[in-house]
Amino acid sequence: MGQGSRARILIGKAGLDGHDRGVKIVARALRDAGFEVIYTGLHNTPEAIVETALQEDVDAVGLSILSGAHNYIFPEVVRLLEEKGIGGVTVFGGGIIPKEDVEYLKTKGVKALFEPGVSTDEIINWVKENVTPKAL
């Protein structure tokens, strides 16, 4: 696998949402595809997500939200990443997110949002193409 395979990806659950079937599948699929995956577990605040992103020096943050809180959490994570000086980290995600909210969240700096039914290969390919590991 190319360079992209060594990118460090934080896969996270933020907010109170407990739906973690999808996020665990994505974490495992990305790991199996050769990425370094850090999974946060459930129930993190946006602050905790960003703190972990900083400590783990990740190249991308992927969040799964199925609780309807996406319009608050995604922009808050993007804002906090910038505030901490790591605004270059790619933010993407998935969950139950209506179309009009997808458009809104893209204007807020979320690079991609995957809808239910997407294959893990599509996510892996997207990450390969869109997340570049930092030069050492």
Partner 1 sequence: MSVDENEIERLRKAREDWEKDYGSARKREADFTTISGMEVPPLSTPLDLNGFDYESRLGFPGSYPYTRGIHNSMYRGRLWTMRQFAGFGTPEDTNRRFKYLMEHGQTGLSTAFDMPTLMGYDSDHERSKGEVGKEGVSVSSLADMEVLFDGIDLEKVTTSMTINCSASIIFAMYLVMAEKKGVSWQKLRGTLQNDMLKEFIAQREWISPPEPSVKITVDIIEFCAKEVPQWHPVSVSGYHIREAGSTAVQELAFTLADGIAYVEEGVKRGLDVDDFAPRLSFFFNVHNDFLEEIAKYRAARRMWARIMRERFGARSPKSLMLKTHAQTAGASLTAQQPINNVARVTLQALAAVLGGTQSLHTNSMDETLALPTEESVTVALRTQQIIAEESGVVNTIDPFGGSYVMELLTDRIENEAFAYINKIDEMGGIFRAIETGYPQKEIADAAYKYQRELDTGIKTIVGVNKYNSEGEVTIPTLKIEEMVETGQIEKLRELKRKRNNKVVRAKLSEIVTAARNGDNLMPSIVDAVREYATLGEICDIFREVYGVYRDPGYF
| Residue ranges that bind partner 1, judged by CB under 8 A | 15-21, 23-25, 27-29, 39-43, 45, 67-69, 71-73, 96, 98-99, 115-117, 119-121
Find the shortest distance in angstroms from Cβ 127 to partner 1: 15
SS3 assignment for the chain: CCHHHHCEEEEEEECCCCCCHHHHHHHHHHHHCCCEEEECCCCECHHHHHHHHHHHCCCEEEEEECCCCHHHHHHHHHHHHHHCCCCCCEEEEEECCCHHHHHHHHHCCCCEEECCCCCHHHHHHHHHHHCCCCCC
Report the nearest approach of partner 1 to the CB of residue 118 (Å).
9
Supply the minimum distance, in Å, between the C-beta of residue 103 and partner 1.
13
**Cβ-based nearer residue to partner 1, 100 or 135:** 100
